[in-house]
Amino acid sequence: MPDEGPRPPHRSQARDEPRDGAAHRDADLSGVALVTGAGSGIGRALAEGLAARGMAVAGLARSGDRLRTAMDEIAAVTGSRTLAVTADVTDRAAVDAAVAEVAEQLGRVDLLVNSAGAIDGAEEPLWEADPDQWWDVVSSHVRGGFLLSRAVVPWMVLRNRGRIVNLASGMSVRARPQYSAYSVAKTGLMRLTEALEGALEGTDVHAFDVAPGVVDTPMTRSMAMWQGFEEWTPVERVVGMVAAIAAGELDAWGGRLLHVAHETPADLAARGPEGDARRLRLRPWGDGDPLG
């Protein structure tokens, strides 16, 4: 497969985006997307939404049967090319092999979405958590995001185009004591995004954190803190935000956190960030604080 790959993703300028952030299903994107955690939840919705907009989509997950069913259904509904690749995102060899398979079958990746990741096994303080399970949660997000980026980004840089989206959370910026592993993982992923964006300065490759809000998924339903909660963020808004990123409409926000529940792509495009807005920073302790 030639390294040049498919055309970069774009959206037709002739189509308007609805105010709620969900793009039209026929909005024109092109290129190849790789979505981890695509077998269910937000990852599956993103895979279908991107395919509906014209991208060839590779879904990656550990559960092969469920993933293959999901990708087959997405192909049938959207008419786009799809591919199911099975891998543990924390396994370096498996990730490298999966990315190579995507390149061979669909072409080089234009959009990487790191959606895979685990949650704490129970709501408990960290000293009561199982150490192995706790670390597995952190690794699924941070090591997973690192390994996928490590495998995909060099080819983006070579072709001078590409977008990386890391799914963030409100816990990226405010830790929940009962979800210490998930909080640490999501904060670490934000640091990875900022470091990646800084290293990509001067290229047409950008990385973003996207906090989806509280979306109705099996993982969210399993969390005791959301029992009885019904004010869900529509998953279509998450798809709309990621589609706008893929289209290059939000490049000014590279290396920063976007929150689907509180803003739309149109809001963000109309008003860019100032200073260190939406980056992890300490508030200064008085004037002249070198850490502020």
Q: How many CA atoms lie within 13 A of 221 on its CB side?
A: 5
Which among 220, 267, 273 is positioned nearest to 20, based on CA atoms? 267
**109 touches 33 (CB < 8 A):** yes
* Residues 81-108: b if buried by 16+ CB within 10 A, e if exposed: bbbbbbbbbbeeebbeebbebbbeebbb
Active site residues: 182
Q: Between 235-246 and 41-52, two packed helices, what is the crossing angle to 10 degrees?
A: 50
Q: ∠ at Cα 194 (192, 199), nearest 5°?
A: 95
**8 touches 30 (CB < 8 A):** yes
Query: In the structure, how many helices (H) and strands (E) does the chain have?
Result: 8, 7
Which among 198, 286, 221 is positioned nearest to 41, based on CA atoms? 221
Q: Looking up tokens 């192995």, which residue turns up?
A: 132
Q: How far apart are CA 113 and CA 152, in angstroms?
A: 11
Strands (E), the chain: 32-36, 56-61, 82-86, 111-114, 162-167, 205-211, 257-259
**Distant-in-sequence, close-in-space partners of 13: CB < 8 Å, separation ≥ 6:** none
